[in-house]
Structure 1
Amino acid sequence: MSNTMRILGAPNLYLQGPGAIERIADIVANLGKCALLVADPTVERMLTPQLTKLLTSVGVAFASAPLVGEVTPANVARLAGDHRADVVIAAGGGKGIDAGKAVSRAMSARLVTLPTAASNDGPTSRIFIFYDDDHKLLSAERVPRNPDAVIVDTQILAGAPRHLLVSGIGDALVKRYEAAQCVGAGRPNMFGGRATLAAVSLANVCEQVLREHAVDALAVAGSGKPDESFEKVIEACILLAGLGFEGSGLSIAHAMTRGLSALPATAEALHGRQVAYALLVQFVLENRSAAFMADQFAFYAAVGLPTSLAELGLPKPSADDLRTISSLTHKAPHTRNFERPLSEDELTEAMLQLEQMRQHSAG
């Protein structure tokens, strides 16, 4: 890679803890005078009363806009055309955060993210995904800069369903290993530069925190009562993973979402579950030892992550299914961020080898 510039991007402010949402009024008031909440209908109904009270108390005009359907260019254009705001509050899980980012870009508005579930590491990054109406991935897009503020209310997150945190753990777990491949291959990060020591360190620490605290954090997920392990895992899933992936780069685990989202059976799986499965395929391509794979399988079982296509919703993948996944993965840009060039056949063979490993370990 000819570019020797090291680049790290990050949100202007990150705030995490029980009751953090109470700080949103002053944060938004410093950014603009008119705020718009973008979220799915459930989250919009949940947050609108509280945000109305908080924001109007500091003189900020407030409105909300529910996203119905997928994060498509047409839906985003409609939301942006129906409203006016100089600050967008993007709230929810992956869909709500992505929709809010897209609307903020369309409006040229400032951006505050307010995750209500730690299902992915999108809240800190510039990146969002456009899908079609059938949830097939269309493109990875960017807002002009990282969010102005990320507000992580762990009391809200601790009330979210457990399976959403499992997805977030999966999305965060892959970052160390994708960073290592991207940096090792001399490929650019998400800012088009080299990774800083800080970004790689964050990706590494992220995995360490998950290994130590994920099981304990999952024990309180859904209770609405965050403890210290939960706080650490939330920081890993959102802040460490977000800065780690954007500053270091992605590889096979994320490239495979192009293929996995194209099959109806696996497209329904949450993003974090898709990339967690795909990381195991990446490990096969890296020729990891049997002992290493056994350790990964044990951790996946402890937190409830998928280790096979069957656990992603595709119990009997056909040859055509595997070819579809491999072909679209091979076309994905992140596939080039690997220690060697890969063929479609190698990707298919790695998936078959993983299936055989799982059958052998189960037997």
Structure 2
Amino acid sequence: MITTALFPNRYIQGFNAIENSLGEELARLGKKALLLESPSANKNLSKTIEKSLSGKIESVVDIFNRECSDEEITRIIELAKAQNIDVIVGIGGGKVIDTAKAVAATIHYPCVVVPTLASTDAPCSALSVIYTATGEFKRYFVLPRNPDVVLVDSKVIANAPARFLVAGMGDALATWFEAEDCRQSKAGNMTGRPGPITAFALAKFCFEILLKYGVQAKNACDQKVVTPALEHVIEANTLLSGLGFESGGLSAAHAIHNGFTALEATHQYWHGEKVAFGTLAMLMLIDSEPQMIETVYHFCQSVGLPTTLAEIGLANVSDDDLMQVATLACAQGESIHNSPAEISPETVFAAIKAANAEGLRRK
């Protein structure tokens, strides 16, 4: 059996990493960079970025249009070609980063990602999630390679609202459970091949870090300070979860998330918040041990992740809408089919209802 793992070329993390390292990392890769920045990154980090790049590399700044869509990717490709760019840099949240990765892959340029939030495991992966222009999940875009550089400034992460860090913990929470599903069913990871034992060990380590340091990391972020616990969870959310999902594989939690995106009421909630509830539903679906269910619900409650449908905007959701979510989660090609559990719209619907009932009972 051939196994395959995927890794970014270089991962950098620490206090003031943008100021101290971004310019020299870009200078290794090209002469002129397109900086695709979220509006908040442009507002808050422009001076720091300019200082880091000064005398090292030319740059052009463009402001992201909020959705990782085919239309936005096409727009940025045209800009990069018109400006004679040779390095693409995504600075912002998960959708900015996914867009930058998709642009770089399409035109075969080096890619550097600078997450300003530890809210998803997108930064390290050779994957972009493409949405419609109005925010519905459209498809996965599997890229030919991982980013050349992932640079995470923990000072920037600490100054973002703690909700983003918590959402990242929700995304990372799914990593071990989904990788374990793939291991048991011998399903392929993002390459289509099974992952190596390294991937599954990293996925489990990710889960252990969340349980050990999650509450203290959130407390540090609430105070806008960087502590060792916060550094550990940033690494778990970004690097360990990224390596774990990509090389270990995805399963039910992310498929259920994708189903939820069809309901407009969920659009104001972050990816990791919906994935966290998808993980709770997945535990019901795969008949997890009661003690593990207890552990995961307790963790979610301790850091503020959703444990009920109401907490992702679905307080009054109908059974018909939940069946739509379940049906979309079971669509052909969805990652839920990597699960060794019995998979059908009916079993997924039941799991969602059961997860919500347990969350309500605990409240």
Instruction: Name the TM-score class by shorter chain.
Output: over 0.9
- 1:170-185 aligned within 5 A: 170-185=170-185
Give the aligned partner of residue 63 of structure 2: 66
C-alpha distance in 2 between matches for 1:305 and 1:254: 16
C-alpha distance in 1 between matches for 2:222 and 2:99: 25
C-alpha distance in 2 between matches for 1:341 and 1:295: 24
C-alpha distance in 2 between matches for 1:277 and 1:188: 24
* Aligned-pair CA distance for 1:298: 1.5
C-alpha distance in 2 between matches for 1:99 and 1:47: 19
Give the aligned partner of residue 215 of structure 1: 215
Aligned residues of 1:37 and 1:44 also touching (Cα < 8 A) = no
* Aligned-pair CA distance for 1:56: 3.3
Secondary structure at the aligned position of 1:79 is classed as helix
Give the aligned partner of residue 241 of structure 1: 241
User: Does the alignment pair 1:353 with 2:350?
Assistant: no
Work out the number of aligned pairs and report it: 358
Tell which deviates more after alignment, 163-172 or 134-143.
134-143
Q: Can you list the C-alpha shifts for 1:72-104, whole angstroms capped at 9, x where unaligned?
A: 111111122123311111111112111211221
C-alpha distance in 1 between matches for 2:308 and 2:142: 31
C-alpha distance in 1 between matches for 2:224 and 2:301: 24
Give the partner amino acid of 1:114: V
Q: Can you list the C-alpha shifts for 1:222-256, whole angstroms capped at 9, x where unaligned?
A: 54421110111111111111011111101000111
User: Does the alignment pair 1:11 with 2:14?
Assistant: no
Secondary structure at the aligned position of 1:240 is classed as helix
- 1:249-260 aligned within 5 A: 249-260=249-260
C-alpha distance in 2 between matches for 1:359 and 1:160: 30
Secondary structure at the aligned position of 2:129 is classed as strand
User: Does the alignment pair 1:199 with 2:199?
Assistant: yes
C-alpha distance in 2 between matches for 1:95 and 1:222: 24
Aligned residues of 1:76 and 1:99 also touching (Cα < 8 A) = yes
In the superposition, the TM-score normalised over structure 1's length comes to 0.95
C-alpha distance in 2 between matches for 1:100 and 1:111: 7
Give the aligned partner of residue 340 of structure 2: 339
C-alpha distance in 2 between matches for 1:260 and 1:106: 29
Secondary structure at the aligned position of 2:111 is classed as strand
Give the partner amino acid of 1:23: S
Give the partner amino acid of 1:26: E
Secondary structure at the aligned position of 1:138 is classed as strand
In the superposition, the TM-score normalised over structure 2's length comes to 0.95
User: Does the alignment pair 1:32 with 2:30?
Assistant: yes
Secondary structure at the aligned position of 1:43 is classed as helix
Tell which deviates more after alignment, 288-297 or 298-307.
288-297
Aligned residues of 1:176 and 1:200 also touching (Cα < 8 A) = yes
C-alpha distance in 2 between matches for 1:206 and 1:186: 21
* Aligned-pair CA distance for 1:15: 0.8
C-alpha distance in 2 between matches for 1:191 and 1:144: 10
C-alpha distance in 2 between matches for 1:355 and 1:67: 35
Give the aligned partner of residue 75 of structure 2: 78
* Aligned-pair CA distance for 1:335: 1.2
Aligned residues of 2:308 and 2:357 also touching (Cα < 8 A) = no
Give the aligned partner of residue 161 of structure 1: 161
Q: What percent identity do the matched residue pairs reach?
A: 33
Aligned residues of 1:171 and 1:272 also touching (Cα < 8 A) = yes
Secondary structure at the aligned position of 2:327 is classed as helix
C-alpha distance in 1 between matches for 2:42 and 2:130: 20
Secondary structure at the aligned position of 1:90 is classed as strand
C-alpha distance in 2 between matches for 1:169 and 1:155: 18
- 1:45-56 aligned within 5 A: 45-56=43-54
C-alpha distance in 1 between matches for 2:158 and 2:355: 33
C-alpha distance in 1 between matches for 2:51 and 2:227: 28
* Aligned-pair CA distance for 1:70: 1.4
Q: Can you list the C-alpha shifts for 1:191-236, whole angstroms capped at 9, x where unaligned?
A: 1211111111100000101100010000011544211101111111
C-alpha distance in 1 between matches for 2:66 and 2:294: 40
Aligned residues of 2:129 and 2:140 also touching (Cα < 8 A) = yes
C-alpha distance in 2 between matches for 1:109 and 1:278: 35
Give the partner amino acid of 2:322: L
Give the partner amino acid of 1:50: T
* Aligned-pair CA distance for 1:39: 2.0
User: Does the alignment pair 1:312 with 2:312?
Assistant: yes
Aligned residues of 2:142 and 2:190 also touching (Cα < 8 A) = no
Secondary structure at the aligned position of 2:330 is classed as helix
Give 4+ residue runs of structure 1 displaced > 6 Å after superposition: none
C-alpha distance in 1 between matches for 2:291 and 2:108: 50
Go from structure 1 to structure 2 and tell me whether the alpha carbon gap of 1:338 and 1:105 turns closer, same or farther (over 3 Å shift): same
C-alpha distance in 2 between matches for 1:212 and 1:293: 17
Go from structure 1 to structure 2 and tell me whether the alpha carbon gap of 1:52 and 1:361 turns closer, same or farther (over 3 Å shift): closer
Alignment RMSD (CA, Å): 1.4
Gaps of 5+ in 2: none
Aligned residues of 1:258 and 1:329 also touching (Cα < 8 A) = yes
C-alpha distance in 1 between matches for 2:67 and 2:360: 36
Give the partner amino acid of 1:70: E
